[in-house]
Structure 1
Amino acid sequence: MNDEAQFGRRIAGLLSERNGQLDPAVLGALGAARRRAVAASEQQFAGVRSPHAAMAWWHAAKPAAAAVLVLAVLFAGDYVNTARTQAVQGEVETALLADDLPIDAYLDQGFRAWLQQADSSSSRS
């Protein structure tokens, strides 16, 4: 037990001992003063919200907050994954369009026929 608590208990004990020696009129006046002080403090703190009420609200909102957080993380992950996939696909398509065809493509007879067909159909248009 700390020193302050011991000191407080000692003072309370001494005051309790002296109560028996006080005049009943003084005891009545002290009791009335105490009741007035307690009533005044109750009125003062009547408008103040208890921290327990805020904590009760938070305990009720925890599951909803957790669900919102999980959904936000999932949507963010999906967004990042989609952006990364599109970036990789764009790099591949850019590389395919910018690169020269391999020599095997020019030697392939089917490719040559496709080029001639594509060229003749574009010249008709």
Structure 2
Amino acid sequence: MAEYSSLLSDLSENITNEDLEQLKSACKEDIPEDQSNNITSSKEWFSYLEKNDKLAHDNLSYIEHIFEISRRPDLLTRVIEYRTTVLKISEDDEIDTKLTRIPSAKKYKDIIRQPSEDEIIKLAPPPKKV
């Protein structure tokens, strides 16, 4: 649990007030506007997420998603590092367990593939102009 507190503290130190506004905006569907206005620090933001079951020491998927869509790879990398070293959840394990999100390219690993001949839709050539 000390590692988790250390992670949140480390993340908080790297989130400016401007960043916080962007992060709150990224999760506006999950935080009502009146509550969002009361959150003035990253520590309060993390606390709110914990109280609302969006964040826990073994459930980081929500903030990984928020950091990903907020284009904060530095923060996302720290969370992934915590997940792999402290929780011992590798990216391969994660694909199976679905415990947390992973970087974009890997989460679509099963979708990104070449279609089979049966799946390819053949289009007719365009009509010739007269």
Larger CA Rg, structure 1 vs 2? 1
Structure having greater relative contact order (Cα 8 Å, sep ≥ 6): 2
Q: Which has the higher helix share?
A: 1
